[in-house]
Structure 1
Amino acid sequence: MSIDLTQTVPLVAPPPPPPPPPRRPWRAVVVTAVVTGVVAVAGTVAVQAALDDRPDDAGPAQEQAAPEERAPETAPPVTADGTAPDWQAVAEAVRPSVVAIAVRGPAGGSEGSGVVLDTDGRIITNDHVVAGGGRIMVTLVDGRVYEAEVVGTDPTTDVAVIALTDPPDDLVAAAFGDSDEVAVGEPVMAVGNPLGLDSTATTGIVSAVDRPVSTGSPGRGEPVVTNAIQVDAAINPGNSGGPLFDASGRVVGITSSILTTSRSSGSIGLGFAIPANLALRVATELVEDGAAAHAFLGVRLADGTARTADGTVRLGAVVVEATAGGPAADAGLRTDDVVVAIDDEPVSGAESLTAQVRERTPGDEVTLTVVRGGETRTVDVVLGSREEGRA
């Protein structure tokens, strides 16, 4: 039996046996497997099977009010002393805006994390946390438990918004930072519900930015390709949908997947987060419109290399097909062109270009650096819009 080791899988913590207790017991697990794969922070094989049964139309698309201005109620950002982050102060400030999520359905359940979007009770999490359907229960940092419902889901980016059906008056919304400003080496803190251990905080640094990561989308067909923030902070099953904070207590990412030595083991210091700018844009569209728009280049791609006129060999994404009438074809992109950069950001392959396109907005103009017949040129493309599909 062959195993595909190139895909990441959503990480949802295993469900407790029914009936679900207020808090389930946890036990340490020693993992000795030697296989490598990327796992999303919310799932096991059993849970994955349960998630695959979700109907395509799950996730209401009813009209919702836009998120209100959150400035007065957000968790207060923290200022470090200039030498090292004050993680104790950060944790104290942000933990009230982080929640534990438990989903229970006839076929099983899942556990994950979330971050409070606004004081009306809306919460951002991962699509794969709630994709299985069922009753959603949200636990706040002080132990209060509330029922929630799905506002909208977006399998393409693995972002979902849920809302408490009867939110409390003292709900604390998180402050969001600019994920475009995140830099390699920057200190970060992940807070979430790993293995049912709510409000767990772990720290580390940003190991890489613009890391193309592909994960399975349970029951949705198309894989999730993310231009992710890579971190070495410990992230484990149950962290899915939880926030990644900077040293000032601002959300810069939504943790979603890890690279691990097997589907049952935990963190080995290779975790990935959806950039906050992308997650917040998608969440806002889900609230306002019930669906998110996705940028579309209109090409079919493969990994490859190109040799420029000076003999330099560069990695890139080979255009296998430019869809007639699509944005790329209309801009002059041709079959066998090799895209080596987008807006001066290097492209290392098909997933890299796909991830870069998906984090942008329909209508954005991008400049592609293309090698054609050994000659390097630039092509300006206005990205189109479609719900899902190729880059």
Structure 2
Amino acid sequence: MTMAPGTHNPMSAVPPPPEQRPTPPERNDREPKPRRRIGEMVGVAVLAAVLASGGTYAAIQAGGEGSASTTSQSPSAQTLQQGSTSPTVIQGNASAPDWTSVAKAVSPSVVSINVVLQNGEAAGSGVIIDQQGHILTNNHVVSGAGNGSISVALNDGRTYAASIVGTDPSTDLAVIKLQGAPSDIVPMTLGDSDKVAVGDPVMAVGNPLGLSGTVTTGIVSALNRPVTTQASDQNQSPFGGGQTNADTVVTNAIQTSAAINPGNSGGALVNAKGELIGINSSIAQLGGGGLGSSGQSGNIGIGFAIPVNEAKSIASQLIQKGHADHAFLGVSARDSVVTDGAAKRAGAQVVQVVSGTPADKAGVKQGDVIIMVNGERIESSTALVAQIREMKAGEQAKLTVVRGGQRVQLDVTLAVKPASSSS
């Protein structure tokens, strides 16, 4: 996967402007209905948003829902009810999870989202997050929807109208709400993405290519993977709506080998307990085109999810005030390699520090190469952007920079990104 190098906007740690980086491929924002197809992708190992394909989500319901406190679906696992949230699965063998029990536990919490666009229909997935009927999904799933143009199908086939509560293009997250939400909806149990480890078994739940009720399994392949996606030009989209090419998304993503395809966007990535750990959002693809081309346009075993801790923070803000504030450092940076002791290390070299910003107050200087944030390696300017965007405004961070051949530790308190900032 190749990340775009370049100099960033001085108002924040942001991706370089389009003229300073290779033009990313168009992102096929949705799959039309009833004619389904995957949009053309070009380049090698490029990132593409995993978006729409139609179909109603029809998954297996958890046994004993709403009545039994304990059900034993198989001798290897127990499903324990947790109040109004989806059951938690206690695995009998952590090295060989009982995925049947996990699928039954989480399926009632994953929905199919259908969006009426100017020139057709499109769909994606979503996750129920509370009893009031709020559903967390990707921004690119619902962008372009007008009033009354969103419908949501529960796993049992019931369909409800929904409205947009708030969207956040910079993180590709959105919250919608069911109109007249039934009292028996089952919010998903939210996990802690900070506790996720490489090698953990995971399951992706969604509606790939309109194949409702699909679950796939794999492992966590990597953490803190800086991923950049960008929407196709709105005027070139055959389906209308969608994000414009100014809406660049940089995610500090969970990488997974669980198969993710168009239609999985906004769906759940869960652990073996059935807890939500991420919102599936994008995949890596090899160059080619549509289904009939020689290139691969679907899953190649490299998918990405937005960590649930970031998604929870954004969703909470969208529900409370309709928009989300973002953390702000106040530097522009570029990819660099610096001598660190006897070795060399990749990092993000500070090109400019904006006066009065958190970086300036913390003592960050032009020429510093940031190699860590809170102990997490920073190996590119994109990685710096992803790490800062995952954090909250007001949060304290420890920067490790190389200055004059020596490591320097700097404490910074991130501010709220100014409204006038471009990112």
Partner of 1:276: 308
Task: Letter of the 1:229 partner, please give it.
Answer: I
Cα distance, 1:363 vs structure 2: 1.0
Distance 1:34 1:367 in 2: 36
Partner in structure 2 of residue 294 of structure 1: 326
Pair 1:229-2:254 in alignment: yes
1:204-243 aligned within 5 A: 204-217=218-231, 218-219=243-244, 221-243=246-268
| 1:89 alignment partner AA | S
**Are 2:337 and 1:305 equivalent residues in the alignment?**
yes
Match in the other structure for 1:355? 386
For structure 2, list consecutive stretches of 5 or more residues without a partner in the other structure.
1-18, 54-80, 232-242, 291-296
Q: Give 1:1-391 correspondences, 5 Å limit.
A: 7=24, 12-17=29-34, 35-42=44-51, 72-82=83-93, 83-134=95-146, 135-217=149-231, 218-219=243-244, 221-262=246-287, 264=290, 265-308=297-340, 310-386=341-417, 389=421
Q: 1:354 to 1:211 in 2, by over 3 A?
A: same
Question: How far 1:13 moved relative to its partner?
Answer: 4.0
**In structure 1, what residue type is equivalent to 2:214?**
T
Aligned to 1:61: none
* Distance across 1 between alignment mates of 2:265 and 2:25: 13
CA contact 1:98–1:141 (8 Å) conserved in 2: yes
Cα distance in 2 between the residues matched to 1:390 and 1:304:
24
Q: CA deviation at 1:36?
A: 3.6
Q: CA RMSD in A?
A: 2.5
Q: Distance in 2 between matches of 1:43 and 1:102?
A: 9
Q: What displacement does 1:80 show?
A: 1.2
Identity across matched positions, percent: 47
- 1:140 CA displacement: 0.9
TM-score (norm 2): 0.79
Amino acid at match of 2:258: A
Separation in 2, partners of 1:255, 1:162: 17
Give the residue type in structure 2 aligned to 1:167: A
Q: Name the residue aligned to 2:60.
A: none
Q: For 2:222, what is the secondary structure of its paired residue?
A: strand
| TM-aligned CA distance change 1:182 to 1:8, over 3 Å | farther
Write out per-residue CA displacement over residues 9-47 of structure 1, whole angstroms, 9 at most, x where no aligned residue.
Answer: 666441214xxxxxxx768x8x99874411110169xxx
The amino acid that maps onto 1:291 is: H
In structure 2, the CA distance between the partners of 1:382 and 1:33, relative to structure 1 (3 Å rule), is: closer
TM-score, normalised to structure 1's length?
Answer: 0.85
Q: CA 1:152/1:204 → structure 2, altered by over 3 Å: closer, same or farther?
A: same
The question of whether the paired residues in 2 share the 8 Å contact of 1:159 and 1:279 is answered with: yes
Classify the secondary structure of the residue corresponding to 2:83. Answer: helix
SS of 1:89's equivalent in the other structure is helix
Answer yes or no: is the 8 Å Cα contact 1:98–1:199 preserved in 2.
no
Q: Deviations over 1:97-130 (max 9, x none)?
A: 0001111122444211000011211100001111
Q: Secondary structure of the residue that 2:92 maps to in structure 1?
A: coil
Q: Which amino acid aligns with 1:286?
A: L
**SS in structure 2 of the partner of residue 75 of structure 1:** strand
The structure-2 alpha-carbon separation of the partners of 1:85 and 1:390, relative to structure 1 and needing over 3 Å to count, comes to: farther
Matched residue type, 1:319: V
What amino acid does structure 1 have at the position aligned with 2:91? A
